[in-house]
Amino acid sequence: MKTQNKDCNATIDACRYCFMCRHACTSGLVTATESNTPRGRALALFNVREQHTAYDPSLTETIYNCTLCGACKQWCEGKFDMPALVIATREKIASNGQPPAWARTIRQSLLQQQDFSQQDLPEKKADVLFYLGVQPHPRAGEILKHFSKIMSAAGIPFQTFKREPDHGKILQLLGYVDDAKKNASILHAQISKTSCSVVVTPDILACLALKNEFPSWGLALEPKIKVFHVSEYLLQLAQQKKIQLKKETRTVTLADSELASDPQGPAAAARQLLRLTAGDCFRELPKPENLVLATGEAAFGMEVDCRPVANLKETLEKRIAAAARQAGAEKIIMLSPRTAASPSCDGIPRQDILEWFAELI
């Protein structure tokens, strides 16, 4: 388990005696434990790195309890990258076959049914490929209907896989990099066979995988293929006036994605879209000092019951609901069907941005 990565070693050395992000750490706040914090993790990883103590299963638990929300890094004046350290450590744990049972279950699930063929390709060809990326999802059919409604209004044909390959991002976050690459290569091949030039996905993880991980894994899509998160794509449609939208009259707010906080990325596009359609009815979530209000999308990457920390998902949902209530918002718009899977929280409706947009047509 010796860490070779220079940056990871710097993070271990910096974080093991530093408490300054305690208030921000999602898993630390929810579990109220010392070990589920960047300091707790770094302390234990130092011991393993220096071979002061043997590897212990309780270390695995705390490494996998991290939600990867990035609040610690965001708060840190030195910008030490704890999420990167956690992912690197998960890779080592996974290579030793020691991840927790729930992570192994997810892996099994994602590796199954990866045998794709010509029959799984779209029946009709079109420039735009809609890749849901969150199979299985309880409302997959509805999500597709929403996209269909929008595209029909815009007069743009699109294609979808009959059966979708996994994109690998969840496996990567769980430390199974080789498996992630394997799944990604299948998706890559299937996308190539569609001859599309645009891939639109409502899922942040899928979007990140296609945009970032695929190139780094040597699986870059053909240069002609552009990848969009739905918020980016819908913004384009709205700006190009390809669809007529009703004005949003309810007060709405946006729950940012902790994984896609890039100022040019999906969250920025969603914000612009909301401002465009909701005007004064759009409310920013009050975030003290711009602290991350984690949605848990990296922790709950799959629609299986994988809750290593009791009440974590519910707590994160409640934190966002409380902030929304403070902002006076009647509805919370989420950036991914994953995080919008629960239709409401604490009495405040949550809606995926795609579904919300479709309602305005």
Partner 1 sequence: MIRSELEDIVGPEDISQSPVDKLAHAVDYYWVAELWHDRGQKTPQADFIVYPQTTQEVSRILKIANTYKIPVTPWGGGSGSQGGALPVCGGIVMDMKKICVLHEVNKTAMTVTVDTGINMQQLEWELEKKGGSTMHLPASITCATLGGFIAHRGTGVLSTKYGKIEDMIISMEVVLPDGRIINTLPVPRHASGPDLNQVFLGSEGTLGVVTRATLKIHPIPEVRKFQAFLFPDLRQGLEAGKNIMCKRLRPCVIRLYDEAETQRLIKRVLGIDRQGAYLVFGFDGDEDMVDLEMKSAVRLCDEMKGENLGTEMGQEWWNHRYKFFFPPYMFHMPQAFGTLDTVATFDKIGNVYTAMKKTIETNFPEATYIGHFSHWYDWGCMLYARFIIDNPPADPHEALALYNRIWNLALRASMENGGVLNEHHGIGLKLGRLMKELHGEAFFALEAIKKSLDPNNIMNPGKMGLGIN
Q: What is the DSSP letter of 226?
A: E
How far apart CA 190 and CA 184 sit, in angstroms, is: 10
# residues contacting partner 1 (CB under 8 A): 41
Query: First vs last Cα of the chain: how many Å apart?
Result: 54
Span near partner 1 by CB under 8 A; candidates 52-60, 209-217, 260-268, 346-354? 52-60
Q: Please identify which residue in 13, 120, 127, 142 interacts with partner 1, judged by CB under 8 A.
A: 13
Span near partner 1 by CB under 8 A; candidates 14-22, 126-134, 260-268, 345-353? 14-22
- CB-CB neighbours of 19 under 10 Å: 11
**Which residues, numbered 312-341, are part of the site for partner 1 (CB under 8 A)?**
326
Residue window 73-92: x/- pattern of binding to partner 1, with contact defined by CB under 8 A: --xxxx-x------------
200 binds partner 1 (CB under 8 A): no
Span near partner 1 by CB under 8 A; candidates 34-42, 112-120, 135-143, 178-186? 34-42
Q: Please identify which residue in 17, 220, 290, 346 interacts with partner 1, judged by CB under 8 A.
A: 17
Q: What is the DSSP letter of 203?
A: -
How far apart CA 245 and CA 103 sit, in angstroms, is: 42
Of residues 13, 4, 28, the one with CA closest to residue 78: 13
- CB-CB neighbours of 59 under 10 Å: 22
Q: What is the DSSP letter of 255?
A: E
224: helix, coil or strand? coil
CA angle 115, 118, 119 (to 5 degrees): 85
Span near partner 1 by CB under 8 A; candidates 40-48, 101-109, 168-176, 192-200? 40-48
40 binds partner 1 (CB under 8 A): yes
342 binds partner 1 (CB under 8 A): no
Amino acid at 310: A
What residues make contact with partner 1 under the rule CB under 8 A?
A: 13-24, 29, 32-35, 37, 39-40, 43-44, 46-47, 50, 52-53, 56, 58-59, 61-62, 75-78, 80, 286, 288, 310, 326
